[in-house]
Structure 1
Amino acid sequence: MKTIINFLFFIGISAVYAQNSLSGKITDTNNQPLLGVEIYSDQLHKGTITNEDGTYNLQNIPNGKVTFNFSFLGFKTIAKEFIFNNKNISFDVQLEESVFKIDEVIISTPFNKLQSENVMKVERLSARAIQKTGATTLSEGITNIAGVSQVSTGTSIGKPVIRGLSGNRVLVYTQGIRLENQQFGGEHGLGINDAGVAGVEVIKGPASLLYGSDALGGVLYIQPEKFVPENTTKLNVSQRYFSNTLGTNTSLGFKSSLKNWQFLARGTYAQHADYKTPDYRVTNTRFNEKDLKLGIGFHEKNFSSELRYNFNNSKLGLTEGIGEQTKETHLETPYQDIDNHIISLHNHVFFKNSKLDIDLGYTINNRQEFEEHHDHAEGETEEEHEEHEEAEAALDMKLKTFSYNTKYHLPKFGKFEVLLGVQGLHQTNTNFGEELLIPNATVNDFGVFTTANFEWNDNTSLQAGIRYDNRGITTERHEVAHEDEIHVFEAIDKSYNSFTASFGAKTMLFNTITSRFNVASGFRAPNLAELTSNGVHHGTNRFEVGNNNLVNEKNLQFDLSLDYNSEHFELFANGFYNKLNDYIYLSPTGEVEDSAPVYTYLQENAKLYGGEFGFHLHPHPLDWLHLESSFEMVIGKQDNGNYLPLIPANTLKNTLRTEFSNEKWLPNGYASVSLHSYFKQDNISEFETATPAYNLVNLGVGGDILISKYTFTTSLTVNNLFDKKYINHLSRLKPDNIFNPGRNIVLGINFTI
């Protein structure tokens, strides 16, 4: 790592100083200047906005290829690549109004193109859209993307599910690096607060070519908030209140940018009591969260860099059923105390016709679980016993991960763009508590890949790539005494290898329908829990036994996407077929150990298929009216005929939304009512039960309130308006017949000075 840092420092100080600038004027199609258009480069972490006369001016841009995005609410985004070579460039542009969704630049794909230009279809949800849903957590918020759901434990713990796949099959990226925080566990959430997040991108399908193992089912790419335009300073305050959990979420952010430096800092605190169903509160589902995000950006000469740090502490109650009904926020045992430290360093080195990206990451995840101990040590008083309980964690694991990701964008050759990449990580897991879920272990990943994009013509693009990966896993042998028995974690030394490839094509059919076809292979090496478990996992109430003979999961997925857009109507249809070889799953043995049923890990070939379909109607001349509808379905079966577990129910979502704007007192106003219909799920695995159908009605209203020179962004959301009793099929509390939350009124306010 020291060698890489020295190399970057050498490039930064030895590059020739580049006096490049980009300036121009931005107007609408009526040649009227647009005030507040954002001109931003994700490569430089730098941008500006237009003045009242629509003009802009950006200085000190490095030599080489740099892409700038021109975006403004209600208008189509433009992404333009410029080649700088010690010169000033003038660029004037007219922005066209956008009736439907704003065309976003996609960061999670290799060539960072607009979604309309991208070969792979990627869904994106902005931070503001997530907050409009009234979601308690980020994981809950992204379930509003078709094809995405979550395995949840109450309101505090949620794991993303993409087209029926979850856990280690869905890779999470945050701050541009992979998140490693014991994703194997059913009782582990994201550990990412939605404050300080700009948006979320979702790749639905194998992304192993770009991200390696664990991206077999898809990728959740969390984008951090941007720096403010240069020579700007802003202070942001936001507050949300949740009636169901009597919860609050308070966030304070500060951002400032100079000519070459950018800074940001954000602190957030959230606290929630036990969530309430229509009949009762679910005891010890309370939780609290502290979150700190810091960022420093620097750009000079032919080099830009961005350093970010995120600390998150979450204390999560683990319910053992319905008990004392209180509104307390102090946690009871059992509960988890989780610390996440995420450090990322992103570097871009610009050459004349090419670019080198070097991303480094270091994460520390410390997971502790505190349980109630009923037996006193000899000679220990009641007070000493309580202190002992509070001071020592029964489960105490520390996971440390260093990751690297280097990509070289070769000079563009005609219509070809080519990227070469090297990725990897070094990871250690260490236990400090008396309980073990997984042993002390070391994991090393290494992968090399290349991918190319070819623009056949203005309407057709092709993209293909190939990759090789190696994962090595070594563990220590452990013997753990539990209830007069010895549980043995045998040492293993395993190596897993895989080739993956992908091919995709985008073209226009009949000059009106955008069609995308993608076929990609993926793989996932078995995780430590699947290989080595030998004990009770309290969150799932199972005694799990690992299987060190497991082999790689591999899949091949076919995707077909069709999009039709006219001035007042949008229609989409996404279909997929996913063939999985050696799918790893838990199967009951019929035995009981430590008062829990014993499950072991087996492998079987399987398949998943389904899709998402929907439309968006914006009738003329009712420009303020929107009717949106989407249907999503997925079926998962093993080749032996059994259904896969934790497959979400088919869902139909209908939303009637109005948009209005009064420039004097309520710009950007909106109001919506939605009906979410969840169908009966009876395609279930052998250890699941069927889930009946139910309907939920949600309301939302909000907008910007102008007071003096300040803008207050407000939102009022009512989820589960009629206080419906229901249990989601993916709820971890379903086996105990515990309902999901009842009515929840969420009030939010956000203002910037």
Structure 2
Amino acid sequence: MERFIYALLFAMLGTYVHAQNALSGTVTDPRGNTKLFGAEVYFPQLEKGTVTDENGSYELNNLPTGSYKIVISHIGFQTLSKSILITTGNNTYDAQLASSAIEMEEIIVSTPFHKLQRENVMKVERADIKSLKTKGAVTLSDGITNVPGVESVSTGLGIGKPVIRGLSSNRVLVYTQGIRLENQQFGDEHGLGISDAGIESVEVIKGPASLLYGSDAMGGVLYLNPEKFAVANSTEGDLNLNYFSNTEGLNANAGFKTSGEKFKFILRGSTASHTDYHTGDDVTVTNSRFQEHDVKTGIAYQESNFKTELRYNYNYLKLGIPEEIGAQTNERAPLSPFQKIDNHIVSSKTNIFFGASSLETILGYTFNTRKEFEEGEEGAALDMDLATFNYNLLYHLPKWGNWETIVGAQGMHQTNTNFGEEVLIPDATTNDIGFLATSHLHFENNSDLQLGLRYDRRTLSGEENGISGEEGYIAPIDRDFNSVNAAIGYKLEPLKRLTARINLASGFRAPNLAELTSNGVHEGTNRYEIGNADLSNEQNLQTDISLEYKNEHVEFYVNGFYNAVNDYIFIQSNGQTIDGNTVFLYEQQDAKLYGGEIGLHIHPHPLDWLHIESSFEMVTGKLKDDSYLPLIPANALNNTLRTEFTKSNSWLENYYAFVTLKSVFKQDKVSGFELASDGYNLLSLGLGGKTLLFGYPIDIRVSANNILNTDYISHLSRLKTDGIANIGRNINLGISIPL
């Protein structure tokens, strides 16, 4: 299949790479008097851009013919988004940017039409990793909790997985390098397994995204955008160092990238080491230590009508699994039990532009090795290999008036293999294939309609394990699942600066291997879990409504959702025990989740340096019998006072400071085997900016999380049942040095 796709791509390549087209122009202020230096000029579909020089001029070469969207942005000005026609030869486009106190907008990559947020029918949250790092995030899983509506189920500090509006595990899909990240995400103690080094930004789709991504996206998508290649004919490098006081944590990463007119190369390596974390009561949480090493690299080649890139990521994790408070040490090598995880991710993305249409092909291969070592045992008790091949073909049809349409096919071939004595899930093979069509229609009255339809089929074949009739026996399984899903959304501007969105989307999730086949003790949970081979698809229908208002002084938004899930899969005790462990069965029942987010951002003009931000998020989850769903985040209120100065003083420029109070409310709406959680308040602060050190411009930042050293337990902490608190005061010192 892969050889056929590449043969097809290169066969078409020869016809379309001959034209040499260029675009040049100037970028100025509204009156045309001021030439804007450093404005970003970017074609999102082509993934090609540059910046203006001191005269406000720019030039881009090797562009394909056809109509493509150009995005031009500069601090202090409204981002311009416009489709322009590139013809054979030299083209000219001069742009004037309107002044604006609103922060620059970015292109949303996780939706197929690559539009600015204000142009999107579906609202997508976006956050820069650099911004999350200024808030002292230790890991990527920790950082994403700063996005409204997103939390993390954690096992200590090193293990965390995303929760979007109350849904997690196999109900939330993670994408990196343009492909789905597969790493046994069904497990409670299985985190993301990816470093934030080399990740530029994160986008969050909060709701069913099965139309775009298939099974496992019924709860939403966490889309990680990799670091961009350098602009043409430039070379960059940087070194980043971080220290975390609570864990005596050390984190370092360095990157290098260079680009010619056609060839591009990027390389980044990182390493991190942490001792056990301390709670607010200054108790050391034994074996919460972890180590991580990560390498990301890529090459790219770009012609006029053709571009391709190949990326590779290797991530190594050695994670202690905290179970109880034991020896109080500052050792870095994990004790038993601990995990060793290797993740290999290879992806290729190729685009061919035909003038009026284009073809995008994304191929990916991930190989995940997970080993768990128990106390007193030689070798790995749990030893699993997971190999996954992904493909994603999207064809952008020629525009028909204001209609944009994409059709495509996506699929996955996955094998799971066991080598250890402990078997959580059997050796199995999973195959997915899906076909989709989605369209976007722009009306002249600043409103937009988006709709789509998709069909998916999943086949799953698992091998027999153990001896029939004995404890731990897993019967062979051969199941197939089908689903048809649709989505429709409408965006309009009923009043100037007011945007309203309504989206209705269905999603689905095929039951995972653990839910279908489990028959044994799930370590760390003290549960004997028994799967159900007759489980059917989860199917949901979610309605999202959002209102957003922006002007030069204030921004306000309110998002509400109602998510009805048919045949929700959950685990419940049957009152029996096996070898002292309570027996839990996987069952199905209809469920519902509802809630939303409210936010306010005040930035009074002309006090552009002052920002007052507040956000409130809530979600409630219930089964049909009116009992509550497990792992539902507590309601939370965030208040931030932030100052930003772009001008320089005697030694610091582009400097900022902030103070944040996060108030988490009591969570007593819990499932039958959960404990209620008390509310708490966390105070954090930070400051930073750019300065000169030995003639080098460096970024420095200092942040302090939980500055009052509050002793608290998050409702989503898996250590809650043992009464083990979360991390106490943690001061982060960071510097970034361009090389």
Whether the aligned pair in 2 keeps the contact of 1:360 and 1:405 (CA below 8 Å) is yes
Select which of 563, 572, 575 maps to 1:578. Answer: 563
> Is 1:723 aligned with 2:709?
yes
3-state SS of the aligned residue for 1:100?
coil
Report how far residue 60 of structure 1 moved. Answer: 1.3
Q: Which residue of 1 aligns with 2:19?
A: 18
Distance 1:441 1:663 in 2: 60
Q: Percent identity?
A: 55
1:415 pairs with 2:402: yes
Q: Please list, as runs of the form range in 1=range in 2, the aligned pairs for 1:37-436 lying within 5 A after superposition.
A: 37-279=39-281, 280-373=283-376, 389=378, 392-436=379-423
Q: 1-side partners of 2:665 and 2:684: how far apart?
A: 17
Task: Tell me the SS of whatever aligns to 1:141.
Answer: helix
1:368 shift after superposition: 0.5
Measured in 1, the distance between the counterparts of 2:538 and 2:210 equals 12
Secondary structure of the equivalent of 2:472? strand
Q: What CA deviation, in whole Å up to 9, does each residue of 1:63-107 have, x standing for no partner?
A: 334333322334332233333332222111122344233221111
For residues 467 and 284 of structure 1, what CA distance do their matches in structure 2 show? 45
Give, in whole Å, the separation in 2 of the partners of 1:174 and 1:331.
28
Contact 1:79 1:105 in 2 (8 A): no
Distance across 2 between alignment mates of 1:2 and 1:611: 46
Does structure 2 retain, via aligned residues, the 8 Å contact 1:65–1:355? no
Range that drifts further, 509-518 or 446-455: 509-518
Q: Distance in 2 between matches of 1:187 and 1:41?
A: 41
1:449 partner SS: strand
Q: Does 1:568 align with 2:569?
A: no
Q: Deviations over 1:534-589 (max 9, x none)?
A: 11221333221110110000000000000011210111000000001000001012
Match status 1:558 vs 2:559:
no
Name the amino acid aligned to 1:671: A
Q: Deviations over 1:406-442 (max 9, x none)?
A: 0111000011111101000000000011110100000
Q: Quote how far apart the aligned CAs of 1:41 are.
A: 3.1
Query: Aligned-pair distance for 1:485?
Result: 5.4
- Gap change, CA 1:35 and 1:729, over 3 Å in 2: same
1:463 maps onto 2:450 in alignment: yes
| 1:292-335: CA deviation from partner (whole Å, max 9, x where unpaired) | 00011111131101110000000110012000000000111110
CA distance in 1, matches of 2:99, 2:331: 50
Name stretches of at least 5 consecutive residues in structure 1 with no aligned partner: 375-388
For residues 166-190 of structure 1, what are the alpha-carbon distances to aligned partners after superposition, in whole Å with 9 as ceiling and x for unaligned?
0000010000011111110110111
Rounded to whole Å, the distance in 2 between the matches of 1:314 and 1:16 is: 43
- Change over 3 Å in CA distance of 1:609–1:284 after alignment to 2: same
Q: Contact (CA 8 Å) 1:85, 1:352: kept in 2 or not?
A: no
Please tell me the residue identity of whatever aligns with 1:368: K
Q: Which residue of 1 aligns with 2:677?
A: 691
Q: Secondary structure at the match of 2:9?
A: helix
**Residues 251-272 of structure 1: CA distance to partner in whole angstroms, max 9, x if unpaired?**
0100000010110000000000
**Contact residue 149 and residue 160 of structure 1 kept, 8 A:** yes
Structure 1 ranges of 4+ moved more than 6 A: none
Partners in 2 of 1:480 and 1:709 — Cα distance? 71
Shift of 1:480: 6.8
Alignment partners' CA distance in 2, 1:19 and 1:728: 57
Alpha-carbon displacement from aligned partner over 1:140-190 (angstroms, at most 9, x marks no partner): 111111111110111101110000000000010000011111110110111
Deviation at 1:749, TM superposition (A): 0.6
Which residue identity is paired with 2:591? Answer: A
Q: Which piece of structure 1 moves more, 406-415 or 37-46?
A: 37-46
The one-letter amino acid of 2:154's match is S
Name 1:377's counterpart in structure 2.
none
CA contact (8 A) 2:17 2:306 kept: no
Letter in 2 for 1:549: D
Q: CA shift at 1:402, angstroms?
A: 0.4
Mapped contact 1:152–1:730 kept (Cα < 8 A): yes
Task: Classify 1:540/1:76 alpha carbon distance in 2 versus 1 (closer, same or farther; 3 Å).
Answer: farther
Residues 322-360 of structure 1 show CA distances to partners (whole Å, capped at 9, x for unaligned) of 000000001111100000000110010100200110110
Contact persistence 2:101–2:605 (CA under 8 A): no
1:566 and 1:68 map into 2 onto residues whose CA distance is 24
Work out the CA distance in 2 between the residues paired with 1:306 and 1:746: 35
SS of residue paired to 1:478: coil
Instruction: Describe the shift of the 1:74–1:489 C-alpha distance in structure 2 as closer, same or farther (beyond 3 A).
Output: farther
2:323/2:719 contact within 8 Å kept: no
Q: Counterpart of 1:536 in 2: which secondary structure?
A: strand
Specify the SS of the correspondent of 1:125. Answer: strand
Q: Letter of the aligned partner of 2:27 in structure 1?
A: I
Deviates more, 1:687-696 or 1:587-596: 587-596
Letter of the 1:479 counterpart:
G
Cα deviation per residue 1:450-481 (whole Å; 9 max; x = unaligned)? 01111122411111111000000000000079
Q: 2: CA distance between counterparts of 1:662 and 1:218?
A: 40
Q: In 2, distance between residues paired with 1:98 and 1:490?
A: 63
1-structure distance, mates of 2:67, 2:193 = 36
Once residues 117 and 389 of structure 2 are traced to their aligned partners in structure 1, the CA distance between those partners, rounded to angstroms, is: 31
Equivalent of 1:441 in 408, 416, 428 = 428
Aligned to 1:632: 617
TM-score (norm 1): 0.96
SS of the aligned residue for 1:572 comes to strand
Task: State how far apart, in whole Å, the 2-side matches of 1:672 and 1:74 are.
Answer: 20
1:708 shift after superposition: 6.3
3-state SS of 1:128 partner: helix
| 2:602 matched residue in structure 1 | 617
The match for 1:380 is none
Structure 2 unpaired stretches of 5+: none
**Does the CA-based 8 Å contact 2:78-2:102 persist in structure 1?**
no
Hey, what's the Cα distance between the residues in 1 that align with 2:76 and 2:342? 40
Match of 2:462 in 1: 475
Asked whether the 8 Å contact 2:44–2:114 carries over to 1, the reply is no
Residues 64 and 355, structure 1, Cα contact 8 Å, conserved in 2: no
Assess if the C-alpha contact under 8 Å between 1:464 and 1:502 holds in 2. yes
Q: How many residues align?
A: 735
2:507 maps to amino acid: G
What is the CA-CA distance between 1:709 and the residue it aligns to?
Answer: 5.5
Which residue number in structure 2 is paired with residue 35 of structure 1? 37
Within-5 A mapping of 1:642-721 = 642-663=627-648, 665-707=651-693, 710-721=696-707
* Shift in Å, 1:530: 0.5
- Give the Cα separation in 2 of the matches to 1:544 and 1:72: 55
User: Take 1:234 and 1:594, find their aligned partners in 2: how far apart are those partners?
Assistant: 60
CA distance in 1, matches of 2:470, 2:294: 41
* Counterpart secondary structure, 1:411: coil
2:208–2:505 contact (8 Å) kept in structure 1:
yes
Does the CA contact (< 8 Å) of 1:436 and 1:480 recur in 2?
Answer: no
Question: How many angstroms apart in 1 are the aligned matches of 2:591 and 2:687?
Answer: 44
Q: Which digits, 9 at most, give the CA deviation of each residue in 1:580-632, with x for residues without a partner? A: 10000010122222432221100010100011011111123322111100110
1:752 matched to 2:738? The reply is yes
Match of 1:6 in 2: 7
Instruction: State the distance in 2 between where 1:21 and 1:607 align.
Output: 53
Give TM-score, length-normalised by structure 2.
0.97
